[in-house]
Amino acid sequence: MTTRSRKPRVTFRFMLGTLLAYVIAIIFLLPLLWFIFAPFNDHAVLSASIPASLSLSNFGEVLDSDIAMRGLLINSPIIGIGTMLITTAVAALAAFGLSRSRLPGRQMWTYVLILFSSVVVGTASMVPIFRLIFEIGLINTHIGVILVMVGGMLPSAIFIMQDFVDGVPSSYEEAAMVMGASPLRIFKDITFPLIRPGLMVVGIWVLINAWGAFLTPYLLLRSPDLLPASVTFYRFYDEEGSPQITLIAAYAVLYTLPVLVMYLIINWRYGFRFFGGIKS
Amino acid sequence: MASIKIQKLVKTFGTVQAVAGIDLDMPDGEFVALLGPSGCGKTTTLRMIAGLEVPDSGVISIGDQDITMSQPRDRDVAMVFQDYALYPHMTIGENIGYPLKVRGVNKAEIIRRVTDVANQLQIGHLLERRPAQLSGGQQQRTALARAVVHRARVFLFDEPLSNLDAKLRLEARAFLKYLQREVGVTGVYVTHDQSEAMALADRIVVMSAGKIMQVGTPLEIYRQPANQFVAAFIGSPPMNLLAAVSDEAARTLSIAGHTFPMRENFAQASKASVIGVRPEHLTIHTQPVENGLVGKVYVTQPLGGETLILVHVGENLISVRVFGDDPPELPEQVWLVPELSRMHYFGEDGERIS
Amino acid sequence: MQRGMLSRPVGLLFLAPAIVFIAVFLVYPFFSIFQMSFTNTTLVGVNAVNPQFVGFDNYVALFNADQWMRRGEMGFSLLLTAQFVIGSGLIGQAVLGLFIAVLLHNRRGFTRELVFTLAIAAWIIPDVVVAFAWFAYLAPDGTLNNLLNTLGIAGPDWLFKHPMISIIFFNTWRGAAFSMLLFSSALSSIPPSQLETADVLGASGWQKFRDILLPQLTPYILTDLLLITLWTFNTFTPFLLTGGGPSYQTDVISIFTYRIGLRFFEFGKGSAAAMVVMIINLAIASIYLLVSRSRKVRA
C-alpha cells in the first residue's frame, strides 16, 4: 500500500461515536427548533410545532412595523458596518505598527490589552462610559455607540490581526524596502493586500458582534428611530410585557439571517482560522 | 554602477558576533561571491549592504558615498531574495514593474522596460500570470527580472539558486553567468555552494565565524588556499589534511608514519605542522612504490566520470579521486603517492606557508 | 538590531488611532470607575454636579456584614456568580467543548459539519434572539416540557422553579462552540502519526486521550479556562432570559452591577461594585497566568 487510507474503519466504537454526535446535535438544535416553525405559523405558541399550514402573514405584520424595520434595515447596518470598518482599519494599522517597529515588549502589551479588555468590559465599565458619552454630547447618537464598541473590540481585533500580519514573510516587505518603497507605500501595496483574509476574518467577527450587541445601544440610545434591531426586538411585547409570539418569531428570523449567512461565507472561504493563534 | 567599499564592519546579535570586523574593496563592475558555511556572517554582510540590518560599527560606501546608516530605499541597490519574495497578489508583469512604479516611472515606460527584460529572460509570455502558476525556474527568473529592470548601482543576491532542484540550478547558474557577462554588473552574491561561487564570481570572499578567511579569484582560492579552513572548505571532496613532522638533518618530512625526502622546497615544508593534498593530486597503486603511503581501502564510490576511493592510512581517512569511467579493481592494500609539487603546507596557526 | 521596517516614531504613528481608542474607552473608564467609587455621584440632582468624596462608604455599604449575604446584596450575588461560572463555564462549556472536539477529531463529513454548524449557530446568533429562543424552550408549555410530556414526565416551569440551573444550561449551550473550536484547532495540530503509533502499540481510546492528546492540549486548556471564566463572569445575557429573578435567584454579578449603577443611577455605589468586579477579574487572570508560568518554568 502506498497511500494511507483516510477513511476510518467502521467499528462498534466508531458507530457509538457517531450516535453520540447526533445526540449532541439534537441537544443543540432543540432550542432553535422553534425558530424554524413559528415564523411560518400564524397561530404560533411557545412550543415548537409543525404548523398546520404555512403562512407568511407574520412577516407581513413585521414589515408594517416602522420602528422595527428601521432598526433592522438602517440602524443595525449603520452601527454594524461602521463598527466593522473602523475597528478593522484601526486594528490593521496597529497590528502592522506593532509587528514592524520593534517596540519593546510588544508581545506583553497585546497580552495586557487583551486582559484589560476582558476585565474592563460589560456592565462594569458602562457607568463611566455612559457618563463620558453623555458629557461629550454623543449620547443618543450612532457615532457614540460605534466608538464605544470599537474601543471594546479593538484589543481582540488587534490580537487576531497580528497573527495574519506576522504571517507575511519578512522578505516581501524587505524586497519592497530595497526597491525604494516608503513604509506607507509598503503597507498599501504589499501588506494590506496580503492580509486580506485577516481583514475579512476580523471584519466579520466584529460585524457579528456589533450586530448582536444589546447593552451598549440599549444604554446609549433613546430615540426609537435610532435603535438597532437588537433593541427594537423588544417592540414586539405588549403593554403588560407579554411577547407577541408570532411577530417575534418572524422578526428574529429576519434579524438572525444576515449573521448566519455571514458565518457560512466566512466558514466556507477561510474556516475559523483565527483560533489557531490563541494559545498561551 | 559603482564600487563598494567596506571598512571594519561589525555586527552582533545578542552575544553572537555575526560579522567581526571585515574589510572589502570591490571595484566598479566586479562580481564577488561571499562563500562560507551557514552562520558565517555572509548573509548578514549582504543585508547590511542592502540596509536591512544596521551595523554596530564600520563603514559601507557605494561609489564614494557613505551609506552605512541610510535607509534601504536611498541606496539604489537591487536584491534577489532566497525565497524570491514575489508578490502573490500581483501578476508577473506587475511584480517586475514594481520597482519602477515605486520610483514613479510613467506607465508606458514601465510596460516597455518590463517587456524588454522579460523577453530577455524568456518569461515574456508569462506576464499575465501569478507567481503561484509558475515553475521554480520561472519564478527565479522573475525575481531576477525584477532586480535588473531598474538599473541599480549594485546587485545583491542572497542564495538565489538554493531553492531550485539540481538540474535547474545548473541551468540557472549558466544563465546568471551569461547575464553577468552581458550586463557587467557590480554584484555581491551570497552562497554556501562553492561550485556556484567558483563558476560565477570574479573574486570569492571565503568567510567563517564572521571573519574573512581569504579573498581571491576562484583559481587562487583553489590553488593557494590561505589557511586550513579554506583548504578544507574548497574542493569536493575537500583537501586531505594530514599531520606532518619534519627532520632538519635528514631533510625529510614524516606524514602518517611515512617519511618523504624533501629536496627543493624543504625550507617551507620544515615549518609545516599540517600538509594538504587534494584527492585529485594523489595517485593510487596496487604494488609497493617509492614514496607511497600504504593504506587499506575503506570504500569505493563510482560516480560515473570519476571514482572516489577512501583509504585508511594509519589513523587518517584519505580520499582519492581517479578520473575515467572505469572504476579500478583494487586489492585490500594500496599505496598512495602525492604529487609533491602540489602539496600545501600549513603552520601551527593554520596559515599557509609559502 | 535588525532595522525594523518602521522607525519607532513611525511605528507609533501607525499605532496612534488604536492607542486613542484604548485610552478613551478602556483606560479612562478604569480610572474613572476607581475615582467615582469614592464619591456619591448620581446621574441627576445635586450630586451629579458636585459629587462629594465619601471615602470608603460605598465599599462599606457593599460589604456591610449584616446584609452581605441577603438576597439582592453583593455577597449573595457573588455566590450565585461562582455557581454560574463553575457550572456553565468550567464544567459546561469547557468540558462539553473538549468532549465534542475529541469525539469529532479526525472525522470528516456530514456528522462533523452538522454538529459544528449547530454549535456555532448557538454561539453567533444575537443575544436577544437566543434569549427568547430559550424563553420559549423552557416555558411551562414550551418545547422542552412538551417533549417531556410525550415521555410521560410533567416538566416544571423551569425559569421559575429552577432559574439557576436554567441559565447554566443556557450559557453552556450558548458558549460551548468557542472551546470546541479552540480545542479542535489545537487537536488538528497534533500530527496523526502520533496516534497511529499508539494504535500500532495497541493503546486504548482512553489511553490515547490521556497520554497523547491531553498533555499537548494543556496549554490550550489553560487559555480556554481563562477566557471562559472571564467571559462567563462578565456576561450580561442571562439578564435577557431572567432579568436576574425571580426574587434575585439569578442576580449574578454583572446584573447586580447593572442594577446598582445603571438602573438606579447610583454611579458611586455602582462604580464601587464595578471596581470589586474588576479586581476579581484581575485576580482570576493572575491566578491563571501564575499557573501557566509555573508550568512553563517546569517544562
Confirm or reject contact between A184 and chain B (CB < 8 A): no
pLDDT band for position B110 (50/70/90)?
Answer: very high
Q: Are residues B259 and B139 in the same domain?
A: no
Number of domains in chain B: 2
Nearest to B73 among A177, A190, A193 (CB): A177
What's the whole-number average pLDDT of chain A? 78
- Is B81's CB within 8 Å of A175's CB? yes
Q: Are residues B114 and B13 in the same domain?
A: yes
Axis-axis angle for helices A196-212, A245-269 (nearest 10): 170
Nearest CA in chain B to A196: B89
- Which of B79, B100, B162 to substitute to test the interface with A, most A CBs within 10 Å? B79
Distance from CA of B132 to the nearest CA of A (A): 14
Confirm or reject contact between C5 and chain B (CB < 8 A): no
CATH code, domain carrying B189: 3.40.50.300
Q: Does residue C6 have a pLDDT over 90? A: no
Which of B215, B233, B251 is the C-terminal boundary of a domain?
B233
How many residues does this entry show for chain C?
Answer: 299
> Residue A175: its chain B contacts at CB < 8 A?
79, 81, 85
Q: Does residue C1 have a pLDDT over 50? A: no
List the beta bridge partners of residue C53.
C39
pLDDT band for position A275 (50/70/90)?
Answer: very low
- The residue-averaged pLDDT of A124-152 equals 85
Q: Could you please state the CATH topology (level 3) that the domain comprising C71-265 is classified under.
A: MetI-like fold (1.10.3720)
Nearest to B85 among A169, A181, A182 (CB): A169
Q: Are residues B88 and B168 in the same domain?
A: yes
Residue B337 domain flag? yes
> Residue B73: its chain A contacts at CB < 8 A?
177-182
What's the whole-number average pLDDT of chain C? 80
Q: Does residue A58 have a pLDDT over 90? A: no
Q: In the prediction, which pLDDT does A280 show?
A: 33
Q: In the prediction, which pLDDT does A39 show?
A: 73
Structural domains of chain A in order of their starting residue, each with its CATH number: 78-277 (1.10.3720.10)
Q: Does residue A113 have a pLDDT over 90? A: no
Return the C-alpha cell found at B73.
530605499
- Taken in order B133, B136, B138, B142, the sign of the CA dihedral is positive
Q: What is the pLDDT of residues C202-235, one digit of tens each?
A: 777 788 788 878 888 887 888 788 888 888 888 8
Confirm or reject contact between A96 and chain C (CB < 8 A): yes
Q: Pick the closest to residue A178 from B10, B88, B49 (CA basis).
A: B49
Which of B198, B233, B268 is the C-terminal boundary of a domain?
B233
Q: Are residues B158 and B281 in the same domain?
A: no
Q: Does residue A276 have a pLDDT over 60? A: no
- Is A154's CB within 8 Å of C21's CB? yes
Q: Does residue A49 have a pLDDT over 70? A: no
The arrangement of strands across the sheet holding B211-216 comes to: B77-80, B154-158, B187-191, B31-35, B203-208, B211-216
Which of B233, B267, B295 is the C-terminal boundary of a domain?
B233
Q: What is the pLDDT of residues B227-247, one digit of tens each?
A: 999 998 988 888 999 888 887
Q: In the prediction, which pLDDT does B188 show?
A: 93
d(CA B340, CA B264): 10
**CB–CB contacts below 8 A, A to C:** 294
> Residue A102: its chain B contacts at CB < 8 A?
none
Residue ranges of A 94-153 with Cβ closer than 8 A to chain B: none
Residues C127, A230 contacting (CB under 8 angstroms): yes
Q: Are residues B65 and B145 in the same domain?
A: yes
* Minimum mean pLDDT range among A209-223, B54-68, B281-295, C211-225: C211-225
Distance from CA of A51 to the nearest CA of C (A): 14
Residue B352 domain flag? no
Q: In the prediction, which pLDDT does B92 show?
A: 94
Q: Does residue A1 have a pLDDT over 50? A: no
- Which of C2, C6, C10 to substitute to test the interface with B, most B CBs within 10 Å? C2
Structure ipTM: 0.81
Domain that holds residue B342: 240-346
Q: In the prediction, which pLDDT does B109 show?
A: 92
Greater pLDDT, B154 or A67: B154
pTM: 0.78
- The residue-averaged pLDDT of B81-99 equals 91
- Is B79's CB within 8 Å of A169's CB? no
Q: In the prediction, which pLDDT does C297 show?
A: 58
Q: Does residue A2 have a pLDDT over 50? A: no
Q: What is the pLDDT of residues C128-161, one digit of tens each?
A: 888 888 888 888 887 887 788 888 777 787 778 8
Nearest CA in chain B to C2: B53
pLDDT band for position B272 (50/70/90)?
Answer: confident
Q: Are residues B168 and B152 in the same domain?
A: yes
Q: Are residues B188 and B311 in the same domain?
A: no
Q: Does residue A277 have a pLDDT over 50? A: no
Q: Are residues B72 and B221 in the same domain?
A: yes
Distances (CA, A) of C105 to A8, C59, C188, C202: 11, 49, 8, 19
Q: Which positions ≥6 away from A164 have C-beta within 8 Å?
A: A95, A195, A197, A198, A201
Nearest CA in chain B to A190: B87
Residue B353 domain flag? no
Q: In the prediction, which pLDDT does A7 show?
A: 53
* Minimum mean pLDDT range among A212-221, B245-254, C15-24: B245-254
CATH code, domain carrying B272: 2.40.50.140
Q: Are residues B227 and B253 in the same domain?
A: no
Nearest to C121 among A97, A103, A260 (CB): A260
- Is B102's CB within 8 Å of A179's CB? yes
Residue B181 domain flag? yes
Greater pLDDT, C72 or B308: B308
Residue B194 domain flag? yes
